[in-house]
Amino acid sequence: LLFFLQDTMLNLKKSHGESPQNFIDIGANIGQHSLFMSLHADQVHSFEPYAAVSQKLERHIALNAISNIQLHKVGLSNKPEELDFFAPTGRNQGIGSFDAGTVSKGNTNLGKLALVCGDEYFASNALPDVDLLKIDVEGFEKNVLEGLQATLQTSRPIMVVEVTYGNPLSFASMEELAAALPEDYSLYRFNNRKADGSKARRRGAKAKRSGEYELIAFDEWRSRGQDDVIACPAEKLELLPRKNRP
């Protein structure tokens, strides 16, 4: 994913000349993607409401003296609300979720976290246009996208949305996902599954080492698991990198 984001941002910058290009990271966690993209985007806006990981991201920004990342310690939703947050108890701190079902996977109820409506937050804080957007919120992506409708209509960004199948908070179908996007968007996913639909783990491990990726049409909705879905507006399709094989 990192190299796809890098290549996409480079294409956007080449296409737009001197116009600043901004990366928005919703569900930033400790900042792997935000820190990496600070080398390529003009501005990075990172959203992370879970204090245990947002504090680590804050330290990473300070230690590396990065000046183009702005950290927003808030969660985004489709309305202002407070929801129970289920925090991970293991080493992987990136699987915190608002989904109570994650308790069965070891998460524990941390208590209420405040969320804000995305459009209202962007407007009141005068945030810039969104050029490239990554959403990784462990099943809460439907609420996030619903809360950004005005922002998406105005900016029409290229997006990478981690979709969690079979999650009661998330989308139930491809049609429901498409309805949450502006008009004239095409959907893709990474070619990281076997013919039977299972994840090709060996291929995925190689991709992480080499930066290799390939996009294919997103044309099948699954009952469980996750996929990074790439959504691209028609007018930016020529800027979308389809493969990288170093």
- CA–CA distance, 201 with 193 (Å, rounded to integer): 8
Q: What is the pTM of this model?
A: 0.95
Report DSSP letters for the chain, one per residue.
-HHHHHHHHHHHHHHHTTS--EEEEES-TT-HHHHHHTTTSSEEEEE---HHHHHHHHHHHHHTT--SEEEE--EEESSSEEEEEEE--SS-GGG-BS-GGGGGGT-EEEEEEEEEEHHHHHHHTT----SEEEE--TT-HHHHHHTTHHHHHHH--EEEEEEETT-TTS-SSHHHHHHTS-SSEEEEEES-B-TTSSB-HHHHHHHHHH--EEEEE-----SSSEEEEEEEEGGGGGGS--EE--
pLDDT at 246 over 70: no
**Whole-number pLDDT of residue 87:** 92
Residues 6+ apart with CB under 8 A from 236: 12, 156, 158
For residues 45-72, give the mean pLDDT: 97
- Tell me: the pLDDT tens digits for 79-97? 999 999 999 887 777 788 9
Rounded CA separation 158/233 (Å): 7
The per-residue pLDDT for 209 is 81
Hey, what are 244's tokens?
A: 């990288």
pLDDT of 4 above 80: yes
| Residue percentage of the chain with pLDDT more than 70 | 100
Domains and CATH numbers, the chain: 2-244 (3.40.50.150)
- For residue 90, what pLDDT is reported? 78
Q: What is the pLDDT of residue 195?
A: 76
Confidence of residue 111 (pLDDT cuts 50, 70, 90): very high
pLDDT, tens digit, 9 for 90 and up, residues 135-185: 999 999 999 999 999 999 999 999 999 999 999 999 999 999 999 999 999
pLDDT digits 0-9 by tens, 176-214? 999 999 999 999 999 999 877 788 888 878 777 888 999
CA atoms of 138 and 28, how far apart (whole Å) = 12
